[in-house]
Amino acid sequence: MSTTAPAPRPPARSSLGDRAFLGLGQTAGVFVLSVAAALLAVLAYQAWPAVSRLGELKVLTSADWNPDGGAYGGLLFVYGTVATSVIAMLVAVPLGVGAAACLSELAPARVRQASSFLLELLAAIPSVIFGFWALEFLARRGLAPAFDLFGLRHQSGEGILAAGLVLAVMILPYVTALSFDVCQAVPRSQREGSLALGATRWHTIWKVVLPYARPGIIAACFLALGRAIGETMAVTMVIGNAQHLDFSATATGDTIPSIIAKQLHETTPGTPKRPTLILLGLLLLVITIVMNAAARLLVRWASKPHLVRTREVALIDAPSPDPAAAAAQAARARTRAARADQVMTAVLWGCQVLTVVPLFLILGYITYKGADKVTAAFFTNLPHERPPGLYHALVGSVTLVGLAAAFAIPIGLMTGVLLSEYRKHRLAAPVRFVAELLGGVPSIVIGVFVYALLVSPFWLAPGQKPWGFSAWAGAFALGVMMLPVVIRSAEEAMRLVPNSLREASFALGASRRQTVLKVVLPAALPAIITGVLLAVGRIAGETAPLILTARGSQYLAKSLSDPTPSLPYYVYEFAKRPDEASKNLAWAGAFVLVVVVLLLNIGTRLVAGKRVVAAARAD
């Protein structure tokens, strides 16, 4: 959060327009709080039948999942979630922290900038693309031959190991970027003191930088773990979807998000299966909230001024009383330190290279498989036409993203106004806290919430026809995902507007409403647009919530109340089919989706870069 000075006090008079403007901000803030409260309440209410029969259903004590036979043991999915997340953390944390240390302490400025850009692109790739790449490349062309080499039984390389590895690739940018930030925050005096005492660069990193940054790195790991636990599409596509417990190295399995995505829409009200799946979703939500809250509390604790730490650096062993022996001992210590410095410098650079290699592997493979499949018919035809295309999915994606933006941008902007311009308002602190937590909610949990609210409403009487999948439901789910990003970017953008502009406006007799509308928002508009583009880029590739809300059809949706196809959903659907025509459509769709999302992120970065340059020139 920005540490800008408090907003200046406006004139004491308050017109009807000012009160109405504040009312809009309050309404937006209350809406954000209501969405979060409704999310918890709906999930808890829908899960209560399973909670009340927890011992009978053995949801968390049995691995026997056979709803048709009356078995609802969810321990299998808990194990799959834990196993894939542990594998991801074991791979991503050493690589990410090593890459962060390299970027912070060793890399020149140009390499640092290029690596940061590549990591942003890697983080922007939609999860369904990660899943498709992991299925076709990582599992079938990477792990499967390795398993064959060692004589291990496997299912085309799919399984928990493959899911864990693709999760590691997905969370690498988060671990690296956040760890880099906290390493950069280590005071320069700490490094200079260590180097002045004769420590090598590696010794300084190991004994000074990393211990000082440890709380922030742990917080980054918590955030990354929350991201890994809640991931749906990539895991669903590569884990093998086997509903039996197997602890072997090549085992297939399932996770909580993947089983919800595959089976919740097939359930009927009144049966134990639906509340059991929603209970698992509620458990997933609680875990991710705890992870995110713990990470944020840890960051705040570590950033307190009184926790500034100093480190003593031991450079050589205790000297010998014999001067000649002491000199020899010091020489040996320097040799060992220099050798360790060379080796670990190479290791850190290796970590840095390995963090960006997956981006080139993914983009290269998607381009190789999909670029030549993109024809004019892809943009004009439907799947059943010849040649086939995904015109209906492209139109559906634009419709869903447009509706979500129309819903989220005004509410997010007014909430940002409340947080930035009315900072002492009693709603500001709880709204900010809830918005931050809402940003960490897994997309599949938001899909479950909207499914129980707008697709198969929980208040309908038994036997009453559900409302069904629709663009309204899909757009609402995507809009809820957009809200935290828009709120945060709007608040930060307005906080960066110099207070001198507000003071000048108040001095000329303008009210707070006029100052915000005529001065603050125009000054902050470029940064707000950047945040909106980031939010659009995030939801443009989302698939998990659309499986439970909009789904799709082979035709254009006749109205917003009908099932609405989308490009990410059809990449997921066609990637699973065995026929070559569907696979080709999936590759073409994946290529187009990657290009759109990356162009949005590159454009956002360019806009932000121009804004920074312009500000620097103005100064």
pLDDT in tens, 61-85: 888 898 888 889 889 999 999 999 9
Pure H helices in 439-520: 443-450, 471-495, 499-507, 512-515
CB-side exposure of 221: number of CA atoms within 13 Å? 17
97-101: average pLDDT? 94
Give the mean pLDDT of 212-235: 88
pLDDT digits (tens, 9 = 90+) for 308-348: 444 444 444 445 566 777 677 777 777 888 888 899 999 99
pLDDT (tens digit, 9 = 90+) per residue, 191-220? 888 888 888 888 889 888 988 888 888 888
* Coil, helix or strand at residue 369: helix
pTM comes to 0.88
pLDDT tens digits along 354-409: 999 999 999 999 999 999 999 999 999 999 888 999 999 999 999 999 999 999 99
- The amino acid present at 335, given as its one-letter code, is T
Per DSSP, the residues of 194-211 read HHHTT--HHHHIIIIIHH
What pLDDT, in 10s, does the model give residues 541-575?
Answer: 899 999 999 998 888 888 999 999 999 999 999 99
Residue 11, by phi and psi: left (phi above 0), alpha (psi -120 to 50) or beta? beta
| All domains of the chain in start order, with CATH | 15-45+378-619 (1.10.3720.10)
For residue 125, the surrounding DSSP H or E stretch is none
- Per-residue pLDDT, averaged over 576-586, amounts to 89
Q: Does residue 591 carry a pLDDT above 90? A: yes
| Residue 270 Ramachandran class (φ > 0 left, ψ -120 to 50 alpha, else beta) | left
